[in-house]
Amino acid sequence: MGDTKRVLFRIQTNLMRIIFFVYEHLDGFVIVHGTDTMSYTASSLSFMMEELGKPVVLTGAQKPMAEMRTDAIDNLQGALVIAGTLIIPEVALYFNRRLFRGNRVMKTDAQDFHAFSSYNMEPLIKMGTEINCNWDLIWRSQKPTKFSISHGWNPNVALLRIFPSITATTVRSFLQPPIRGVVFQSYGAGNGPSNREDIIREIKVAIARGVFIVIISQCQTGIVSSAYAAGAAFAQAGCVLGADMTPSALAKLSYVLGLEGLTATQRKELLETNIRGELTQADLTKFSLSNSTFLQSVADSMKASTEAEIHLIKASLFPCLMCSAAKEGNFQGIKKLKEDGGDYSMTDYDGRTPLHIAAAAGHELLVEEMLLDGCPVHKKDHTGCTPLTEAIKNKHFQIIEMLRNAGAVLKCSQQQTCNELMMNVVGNDLDAITAWHAGGADLDASNYDGRTALHIAVARGAEDIVRFLISQGCDPERKDNFGRTPMSEAAEQEEIIELLEWGLSMKDPPPNET
């Protein structure tokens, strides 16, 4: 991508649009990027890509691929493996065998291969002889809606680092229009010049004028707090305390200010809220092995004492328990297991997740609750089936609709789709064909002979199925590889011929010849 020091918002927008247009056809995405501004792009994309359900991984290299001892090959291979095999619905940055959340990472070394760090959060993945994924940290949206991109973005934001001798004139100049938002890097836990009434006055004037000010720390680790008087002065002046956000707060500020139709209060609430995993909210509690009653009880009975042993117990028991609870439609059981360290990405021996099983069993309320809790919808089992495929095969129409609204896409080849439709035609199962259509199947899909479900339905005299296929726009004049059309298959079946002629009448008339 060239010298990414000159990467513009336009390029980031183009990246998003490319991903959006091919999103349904691919399992993950890798963006090769220069390292100097890669963390800024990762942070920006993490906010601009909404309800992401697939991995978007940025990577680069300290030394170009053509040079000896390059790190480019290792970084690119690792990024491709992660994007192609794991369902991590985040914008992330992969470097030196570590995967970091895109809005939590910073470049910290200009020469070492270990160039990126995420001080306030562990890496999502540590790559060694095995891929060790910290599933407890994976961010999942709790809005079961389709992937979209945000077109709102306000570039009028800036970063100001506080220092002891900074003048009120400097602060005033920095806060002048067209600036709409500023990230202040303060001392320690959010401490600032509380004894500088002139600076506090300039901050209050700017906030009254509609400028949003977010306070983050100059320290690499720690959290901004109003516990100290100096930190409380910023909060009392109307600033937003940015918790443990990195300079990625700039990207969040641009995103929030670019959203239309929000009041100042709503924007401030969004800035204080964890919307993409970019900050740690003090009132959120995270699971740890030490406070899991169930796991600890099992560990005690098995005389397991180390954390590694407890992790092995968890990996062995929890997938079976969560899938069993899903089969019974027991959301409270799944919820308790999840609180004890379970994860919706856990699979049974067939690679099926709890959502696969709940969708197949038709537990509508359970599926709805799991989707609201951020359950991934794109996971494939060992046969290539997704939860959407399971819902289709079992004709659970309400679940099909919920999954599609949550962004699920039917991942079958044209020939696979055609084979399923043809088997249902042979079985005279109109409900099954309707389910495949509701799931997004192409009813005009053809097999290796070029024949479609309509060819077979006409040949077998399945009038109800023919009526449905025609009503959904299937082509009565579609030729197979032998030149036969559904119309030619109809022979003397008068009622079916009438249906096919009805289908022909609904087709767009040919353009007038000149």
How far apart, in whole angstroms, are the C-alpha atoms of residue 206 and residue 48? 27
Distance of CA 372 to the CA centre of its chain: 14
Contacts of 405 by beta carbon, 8 Å cutoff, 6+ apart: 144, 145, 146
The C-alpha atoms of residue 274 and residue 225 are separated, in whole angstroms, by: 16
Distances (CA, A) of 74 to 31, 84, 127, 128: 15, 15, 11, 12
Q: Which of 230, 220, 168, 222 is nearest to 195 (CA)?
A: 230
CA gap 82, 94 in Å, rounded: 9
- Report helix, strand and coil shares of the chain as percent, to nearest 5: 45, 10, 45
* Cα dihedral sign, 108-109-110-114: negative
Which residues face 191 on adjacent strands? Answer: 187
Give every CB contact of residue 160 below 8 A, 6+ residues apart in sequence.
171, 174, 182, 183, 184, 185
CA pseudo-torsion sign 508, 511, 512, 513: negative
Q: Three-class SS string for 352-401?
A: CCHHHHHHHHCCHHHHHHHHHCCCCCCCCCCCCCCHHHHHHHCCCHHHHH
DSSP 239: P
Single out the catalytic residue among 13, 35, 37, 265.
Answer: 35
Q: Is 470 helix (H, G, I), strand (E, B) or coil?
A: helix
Residue 42, both tokens? 């990762």
Q: Which of 503, 510, 456 is nearest to 484 (CA)?
A: 456
Ramachandran quadrant class, 297 (left: phi over 0; alpha: psi -120 to 50; beta: rest) = alpha
**Residue 285 catalytic?**
no
CB 185 within 8 A of CB 239: no
C-alpha–C-alpha distance, residues 438 and 453, integer Å: 16
Tell me phi and psi for residue 35, to 5 degrees: -80, -25
Q: How far apart are CA 311 and CA 318, in angstroms?
A: 10
For CA atoms 349, 350, 353, 355, the dihedral sign is negative
H-type alpha helices, 225-382 = 229-236, 249-258, 264-272, 293-301, 307-328, 331-339, 354-361, 364-372
Instruction: Report the catalytic residues.
Output: 35
